[in-house]
Structure 1
């Protein structure tokens, strides 16, 4: 997104005056670049597919790796725009709106992730406090050692200018960009849907975002989605903490026992996993917000 903005500012005037000498090859040129974009996206998804084969269960570590695919996806899209010599200033209004609305939707989705992670953090703190009571007050500790119950907060996504139809009358460059935008939007929403579902322990967000990814035709996407659909919705780090809590309760809350020590380790693992995911979400949010703000500022500047 930032690369797209830099290209807009640096090369706008150059691109406006640039024309390919071989007009007959423009369509095939656009198709070849779109194929390169699809290949780069497929490579990213195939890497995730390899990582997914290590475990059949969902984990926060895997959700982190999934979120890290977003900047790869955005860079591939920006590269396509640069290679096509078709900056944002040349786009039609619908295409611009679709791109800007995509970034706004991503911000909303990342906010949902942050909220769910905050709730999960509060649940972890409650368990950590309960565990701290096992030595001084075992009965009170046992009464407070309740399993983490993940809550669904996702209420849907407002449909803001989602691009679904490719205009036959648009130029080859704009057609390629619109096709790539459909792919970028679909996978971006899909990624966020999986992460939200994993943070809420509920499949609603994933299923809704997968529906918005119906226009994605990259073969690797369907294969990866098939793997994702079998992973479940509750991360293994949460399951481990809940299992450990049951063990402590079953042991009568012995503070010096192996069960209590194992639960401390698992709570620490959960804490670190959530912290890393929070940092990644914050980084993605800041990156998208900054790129969106700069792009809007560029449009507001008077043209000379």
Structure 2
């Protein structure tokens, strides 16, 4: 996202000096849009390789999804804008509003993910405390050992697809950017929907965001989504790491001895590590999107010469 807005700033400072490509603009715009979709497909195909043996969702896979797809899509979008030589200062109001609404919705989704991760951290701390009582007060420890049950915070009605179809007469460059923005929006929501569903242990966010991504026409996306849909439909969205901890809780409550306690400690340690890793990644994405949004607004605050 910073790359995108840094590029915008550089281009907008040179608006009066640009000499756009001559010839068949329509053909050039189509080819640049195709290059954007090729970049997106390449990233999706890389993710497909990691889903060949996917049986259930895990933090490891969600982190790979969040790290790999959203930054790559934003970079591909920035490259499209640069190649078209069509800076944000020339965008129509609908296109600007579409981008701003997308970034705002993405911030809301990332914030929801952070909230769910905080719940997971609290559950882990409570379980760790219960384990610390095993030696001194075993009955009290067992009474405090509860499976992790997360509350759903996502409200699907709050997220809407915002990119509008361009009116007749818009430039070829703006048409290509609008199409790419619609793809970026759909995939961004889809990624956050999967991650949020995993963190909440509830599939609602994924199914809602999947609906908003229905207009994404990149073939590789349809293939990848079909894999995720099959996994979630068959196994739900509770993450492997959470299921492992809950299984360990059940084993101790059922009379498991010291070995079961040590196994649970190991699983809680794994959960802590993965939750912290996801939290750092979400915070990074949030900062980048917020910074990009601010930079975009700064473009329009600058006096025109």
| TM-score normalised by length of structure 1 | 0.95
1:122 is matched with 122
2:286 is matched with 285
Preserved CA contact (<8 Å) 2:58 2:239: yes
In the TM superposition, residue 213 of structure 1 has moved relative to its aligned partner by 0.7
**DSSP 3-state at the match of 2:106:** helix
1:298 is matched with 299
What does residue range 132-281 of structure 1 map to in structure 2 within 5 Å? 132-159=132-159, 162-231=162-231, 232-251=236-255, 254=257, 257-281=258-282
1:89 is matched with 89
Preserved CA contact (<8 Å) 1:15 1:85: no
* Alpha-carbon distance between aligned partners in 1 of 2:93 and 2:99, rounded to the nearest angstrom: 10
Larger mean Cα displacement after TM superposition, 154-163 or 232-241:
154-163
Matched, 1:46 2:45: yes
In the TM superposition, residue 83 of structure 1 has moved relative to its aligned partner by 0.3
2:131 is matched with 131
In the TM superposition, residue 249 of structure 1 has moved relative to its aligned partner by 1.3
**DSSP 3-state at the match of 1:3:** helix
Deviations 1:222-281 (A, max 9, x none): 1111111122300000000000111111226x4xx1100000000000000000000000
**DSSP 3-state at the match of 2:141:** helix
Deviations 1:153-186 (A, max 9, x none): 1112535671142434211111100000000000
In the TM superposition, residue 302 of structure 1 has moved relative to its aligned partner by 1.4
1:59 is matched with 58
In the TM superposition, residue 203 of structure 1 has moved relative to its aligned partner by 1.0
Give the length in aligned residue pairs.
Answer: 300
* Alpha-carbon distance between aligned partners in 2 of 1:115 and 1:9, rounded to the nearest angstrom: 33
Matched, 1:107 2:107: yes
**DSSP 3-state at the match of 1:75:** helix
**DSSP 3-state at the match of 1:202:** coil
In the TM superposition, residue 14 of structure 1 has moved relative to its aligned partner by 3.5
* Alpha-carbon distance between aligned partners in 2 of 1:300 and 1:221, rounded to the nearest angstrom: 37
2:71 is matched with 71
In the TM superposition, residue 19 of structure 1 has moved relative to its aligned partner by 3.7
* Alpha-carbon distance between aligned partners in 2 of 1:152 and 1:80, rounded to the nearest angstrom: 37
* 5+ long unaligned stretches in structure 2: none
* 5+ long unaligned stretches in structure 1: none
> Structure 1 residues 123, 82: closer, same or farther in 2, change over 3 A?
same
> Structure 1 residues 250, 104: closer, same or farther in 2, change over 3 A?
same
**How big is the alpha-carbon RMSD for the aligned residues of Structure 1 and Structure 2?**
1.5
Deviations 1:109-160 (A, max 9, x none): 0000000110111011111111111111111111111111122111125356
Larger mean Cα displacement after TM superposition, 93-102 or 288-297:
288-297
